[in-house]
């Protein structure tokens, strides 16, 4: 009955508005990288339930991802209490989310960013002691790196480690096996063989990677899509990263080990040239076809 006259409200960094009108920037890192943490708190008879332990866990989650929430738990508790009251919410939930904030896209932590703190109320009715039917699924959280998902928090944290170490990229290693970079695919060259981990559970099918594999074959390289160990990477003649933003970037040092001669190797140079050629060709093909379709 009371729920009927309630109004779901949203509090974002100090401003309150109806939930349906609440807006967050599209550059919020929660939206772009899933770079945030959250809590769901039950509301019974107009009161938040177990608010303190929820907020304590929120603090631990924030610490875990190094977001420094600008508000104390005492303050957020007051915000929750006020919002539930103003909403006239009787039965439902309070949702609390803290993201790293709004910044131009880049995996590493942005400087001078204010976290986005959001609290909203939702009216919901739950059945007590409900019956549930279940199925079993393989626990593959998150073994689907082939999906270019925005759930990039592990990549964000890895990239930040690289920044802290004063290097350019972090490469994920599973057991002893190299998978991919936080924001790139990785390959090594041994003799005239290019070796790169196969795409799948732990490796995104990079567009740049695929183009480079085709160009490598054209250049007369042998291409092996198989995993290699970090030790094999240290001992490689050449190693490089591939991504849309980098194209081909040669690796000079890996965990402090110099790779090859410490200069850009000949195969990486050839691949980079071949990539440039391929890229320029496809840009000019596109320009030609769009100018001919304009004049048609
Ligand atoms: N990242 N692997 C990961 C985890 C990536 O994030 C990327 C690209 C790649 C390379 O994919 P492609 O060649 O299709 O760009 C591999 C982009 C550049 C980014 O998130 O900024």
Residues with CB under 6 A from ligand 1: 155, 180, 183-185, 204, 206-209, 242-245
Q: Are 93 and 42 in contact (CB under 8 A)?
A: yes
Which pLDDT does position 86 carry in this prediction?
97
pLDDT score at 1: 47
For a pocket test of ligand 1, which of 145, 157, 184 has the largest count of ligand atoms closer than 8 A to its C-beta? Answer: 184
pLDDT tens per residue across all 296 residues of the chain: 444 588 999 999 999 999 999 999 999 999 999 999 999 999 999 999 999 999 999 999 999 999 999 999 999 999 999 999 999 999 999 999 999 999 999 999 999 999 999 999 999 999 888 888 999 999 889 999 999 999 999 999 999 999 999 999 999 999 999 999 999 999 999 999 999 999 999 999 999 999 999 999 999 999 999 999 999 999 999 999 999 999 999 999 999 999 999 999 999 999 999 999 999 999 988 888 877 766 65
CA distance 253 to 248: 15
Q: Work out the burial of residue 231: count CB atoms within 10 Å of its CB; fewer than 13 is exposed, 13-18 middle, 19 or more buried.
A: exposed
Rounded to whole angstroms, how far apart are CA atoms 12 and 99?
A: 11
What is the distance between the alpha carbons of residues 30 and 23, in angstroms, rounded to a whole number?
13
For residue 287, the model assigns a pLDDT of: 83
- For the CA atoms of 23, 26, 31, 33, the dihedral, rounded to the nearest 10 degrees, stands at -150
- Assigned token pair, 261: 């001669």
Q: Calculate how far, in angstroms, residue 80's C-alpha sits from the geometric centre of ligand 1.
A: 39
* Class for the domain spanning 2-123: alpha beta
- 244 CA closest ligand 1 atom index: 15
What letter would DSSP give residue 251? -
Instruction: Confirm or reject CATH 3.40.50.2300 for domain 131-279, answering yes or no.
Output: no
Question: Which residue puts its alpha carbon closest to atom 2 of ligand 1?
Answer: 184
Q: Residues 6 or more apart from 98 whose CB is under 8 A from it?
A: 36, 37, 38, 58, 61, 62, 67, 69, 115, 116, 117, 118
Question: The pTM is what?
Answer: 0.92
Q: Give domain limits for the chain.
A: 2-123, 131-279
């Amino acid at each position: 009955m009371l729920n009927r006259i309630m109004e779901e409200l949203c509090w974002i960094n100090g401003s309150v508005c109806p939930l349906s009108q609440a807006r967050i920037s599209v550059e919020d890192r929660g939206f772009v990288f899933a770079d945030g943490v959250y809590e769901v708190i039950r509301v019974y008879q107009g009161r938040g339930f177990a608010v303190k332990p929820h907020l304590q866990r929120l603090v631990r989650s924030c610490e875990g991802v190094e977001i420094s929430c600008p508000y104390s738990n005492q303050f957020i508790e007051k915000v929750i209490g006020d919002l539930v009251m103003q909403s006239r919410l009787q039965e439902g939930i309070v949702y609390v989310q803290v993201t790293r904030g709004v910044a131009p896209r880049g995996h590493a932590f942005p400087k001078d960013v204010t976290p986005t703190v959001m609290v909203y109320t939702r009216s919901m009715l739950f059945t007590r002691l409900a019956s549930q039917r279940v199925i079993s699924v393989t626990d593959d959280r998150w073994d689907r790196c082939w999906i270019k998902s925005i759930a990039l928090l592990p990549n964000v944290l890895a990239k930040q480690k690289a920044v802290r170490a004063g290097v350019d990229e972090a490469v994920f290693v599973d057991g002893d096996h190299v998978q991919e970079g936080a924001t790139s695919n990785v390959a090594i060259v041994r003799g005239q063989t290019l070796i790169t981990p196969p795409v799948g559970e732990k490796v995104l099918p990079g567009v740049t990677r695929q183009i480079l594999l085709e160009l490598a074959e054209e250049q007369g390289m042998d291409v092996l899509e198989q995993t290699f160990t970090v030790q094999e990477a240290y001992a490689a003649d050449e190693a490089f990263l591939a991504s849309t933003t980098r194209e081909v970037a040669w690796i000079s040092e890996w965990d402090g080990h110099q790779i090859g001669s410490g200069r850009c190797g000949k195969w990486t140079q050839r691949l980079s040239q071949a990539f440039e050629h391929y890229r320029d060709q496809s840009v000019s093909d596109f320009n030609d076809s769009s100018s001919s379709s304009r004049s048609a």
